Structure 1
Amino acid sequence: MIALAAVGVLALALLLFLVTTYNGLVRRRGAVDNAWAQIDVQLERRHDLIPNLVETVKGYAAHERTTLEAVVSARRQAVAAQGPRDQAQAEDLLTGALGNLFALSEAYPGLQANQNFAALQEELAAGENRIAYSRQYHNDAVLAYNNAIQTVPANIVAGLTGFVPREYFQAPGDERGPVRVRF
């Protein structure tokens, strides 16, 4: 009778452990999904500003068609990107194209004085800060989740129930190196 009660208590403890561990993994996976959604919101906001920026620049620098087309093309790729790796590469391309667009604005004093252009540029800069924070939050959530599914004993529950590691939102290889300053 005592042995049967001990087995029952052990079975209940095991069941409680499995349920608690599974629910914890689900919460962490949800945090990763939420963090990715926050990045997506910020990137969509950025993507929505770009057509207005391009239209504003067109009025002043219509003959700079190559730069404007590069921004539009990079935006299109960024909107279509899927997953952290592809999204990071597309956003890197878009950032470079926007950098060229802002550099172009220096050649047009009237464009720099345009209030609409200044407001769009300021909103994009603020958006970059929100995107950076969202990326950091996402990577922190991925780290917590990946650690949870790879550590004992939760890795057993994760393996049995189909939890797989998630991907970090990482900058492409050339962005990770030291910054080069040339004069």
Structure 2
Amino acid sequence: MKKNFLITISIIIFIFFWITGIYNQLVNLNENIKKQWSQVENVYQRRADLIPNLVKTVKGSADFETNTLNKVIEARAKATSIRIDTNDLNQNKINKFQNAQENFNNSINRLLFIVENYPNIKSTQNFYELQNQLEGTENRINIERNRFNDQVNCFNSYRNKFPKIIIANFFSKFQEKGYFQSKKGTENAPIIDFSK
């Protein structure tokens, strides 16, 4: 009787520590995702903060199409208005954030295209410096997005293995996380035509 009781208590203690270990590992992985998401938002914010400086420099150096400038400003406002709760990083919300950032990026590309048509803008040192900052920021965004996807992969791989998925499903904060995904059509190389 006493022996069976000790075996039962030992099994219960073992199961308790085993579940606690899995829970704590899920917490660590989940916190890594939140931390990396903050880095992603940080580099996107850096880009958004650079745009007003770029626009002021370009505007001060040349008089160009106001419509494009307004689109850049509108896209920046939309891109910076989207906030995602780090406790709910599902695929739909990641896609919404990513779409706003892609629209912002398209506006930047239009602005840079216009600048190509205004040689006096390109010749200013400030513009070159800000343009280099934007390129560096785009690289940082790519790096941080990749790191975020790596963290999501670690979390999702760990949580979805049996029997860990059973424990993870008991807690809403351990739901599967969403990834950044490439935009449709990015597998096709862009066509650059300088003849026009």
Q: Is 1:154 paired with 2:164?
A: yes
1:60–1:108 Cα contact (<8 Å) kept: no
RMSD: 1.4
Q: Is 1:89 paired with 2:103?
A: no
Higher deviation after alignment, 101-110 or 128-137: 101-110
From 136, 143, 153, the equivalent of 2:153 is 143
Q: Is 1:172 paired with 2:183?
A: yes
1:182 and 1:133 map into 2 onto residues whose CA distance is 26
Query: How far apart are 1:112 and its partner, in Å?
Result: 0.5
1:76 and 1:40 map into 2 onto residues whose CA distance is 14
Amino acid at match of 1:55: K
1:88–1:171 Cα contact (<8 Å) kept: no
Partner of 1:38 in structure 2?
A: 39
From 102, 112, 132, the equivalent of 2:112 is 102
Partner of 2:56 in structure 1?
A: 55
SS at match of 2:10: helix
Amino acid at match of 1:172: K
Amino acid at match of 2:38: A
SS at match of 2:33: helix
Structure 1 residue runs without a partner (length 5+): none
Residues 65 and 130 of structure 1: is their aligned pair in 2 closer, same or farther, counting only changes over 3 Å? same
TM-score of the pair, normalised by structure 1: 0.94
2:181 and 2:71 map into 1 onto residues whose CA distance is 23
Partner of 1:118 in structure 2?
A: 128
Query: How far apart are 1:70 and its partner, in Å?
Result: 1.2
Query: How far apart are 1:94 and its partner, in Å?
Result: 1.2
Q: Is 1:10 paired with 2:21?
A: no
2:45 and 2:127 map into 1 onto residues whose CA distance is 19
TM-score of the pair, normalised by structure 2: 0.88
Residues 79 and 56 of structure 1: is their aligned pair in 2 closer, same or farther, counting only changes over 3 Å? same
Alpha-carbon displacement from aligned partner over 1:47-101 (angstroms, at most 9, x marks no partner): 0000011111112332410111111111111101234212211111111111111
Which aligned pairs between 1:58-73 and structure 2 lie closer than 5 A? 58-73=59-74
2:62–2:120 Cα contact (<8 Å) kept: no
